[in-house]
Amino acid sequence: MSGLLLALAGCGLVIAGCGQGTATATPAAEGKGAEAAAPAAGGEGLSRASAPTPWVKARAAGEQALLEAPAVVLAPPEAAGAVSAPFAARVMRIHVQPGQEIAQGAPVIDVLMPELIGASGAYAAAGTRLAAYRRRKAQLDGLRADGLAKLSEIGEVEAQIADAEASQQIAAATLRSAGMGPGSAGQVLASGGKVTLRSPVSGVVTELRATLGEMRDPSGEPLARVVGAGAARVEARVATRPPEGARYDLVIGAASPVPLKKVAQAPAVDARDGTLKIWLEADVALNAPHGALGKVRVRVASESGAVVVPAAALALQDGHAIVVARKTGQPLPVTVLTTAGADALIQGELTEGDEVAAEAARALAQDGEGVP
């Protein structure tokens, strides 16, 4: 807060007249009767007649957008999906085209994955060995009851069973990493190793990066992307932290503004550009495509008691922000919520229409008070 107040003081002291674009001069007195307009209490307060700075009226906070920030419409997690092969794969067949609308689980691409074929074969072979070893183990257990089987033979068979089970578990893990259960091994072998990759979401095929016969590595780009509809979230980057109780509108092109509500805020500014990320949502479905660019306007509710004055109307006194109020003729402490360009949003004992000195630093200097 101290950094902000110092910046405001700098605006008031260095940039002479930075708020005069909106000021309307209203001299306190004219002609020979000017001295009668000054306070009579022993010179206390600020002589309105002696201050050359004009007076400006505080404006309602809802009259203008305090901040405008670039924004982008984000797709919800459940509305976007990528179709990829978990292992190196050869493209065998393509079921869709770009722009085609498909349902969740619809076939997209058929591929041949050698590693998956090998895992399916290893799982089936281990199952065959297990069946044979277990039959032999059952025979030896029967002979052992009659004293006709050696313990060494039984131990050897048990070791073979353990080895076959381990091989089967390794193969099953490979199948599961491809999104298939161990029971799918037989289907993979029966189909000659062909596997159908399906869409994880309902939506429209927005990208198709597959060519018949090509070999694709799992670390490369997805074979296809599908984007669906859904309640979207808006991400905006603001230059300053919005005040509490602020209202937000999303504007995209010439469309009507859409009211938003803030749902989250980044805990720190982005070191790359000094902006702060905020995330917002609309109460109604946004009629905007995912990825659409626009801007978010930040406003403050009129019932908050905040008003807008020129930034030059602020000054520092005893470490606190003040304005020079015409109704009292004295510095009035205020709380600075935010600044935007040549305007500042403040709260204090001011209401819409109250007049303040357009240049607080000059008014204080004329009165001999100075600014710390």
Q: What is the pLDDT of residue 262?
A: 92
Tell me how far apart the alpha carbons of residues 356 and 307 are, in angstroms, rounded to a whole number. 12
The residue with tokens 């260095």 is 14
The CA-based diameter of the chain, rounded to the nearest angstrom, is 135
Tell me how far apart the alpha carbons of residues 84 and 213 are, in angstroms, rounded to a whole number. 16
pTM of the model: 0.54
Q: What is the pLDDT of residue 278?
A: 94
With a cut of 50, list the residues of the chain below it in pLDDT.
1-51, 369-372
pLDDT digits (tens, 9 = 90+) for 319-341: 889 999 888 888 999 988 777 77
Q: What is the pLDDT of residue 302?
A: 66
Q: What is the pLDDT of residue 145?
A: 82
Tell me how far apart the alpha carbons of residues 12 and 339 are, in angstroms, rounded to a whole number. 13
Cβ proximity of 89 and 113 under 8 Å: yes
Q: What is the pLDDT of residue 7?
A: 43
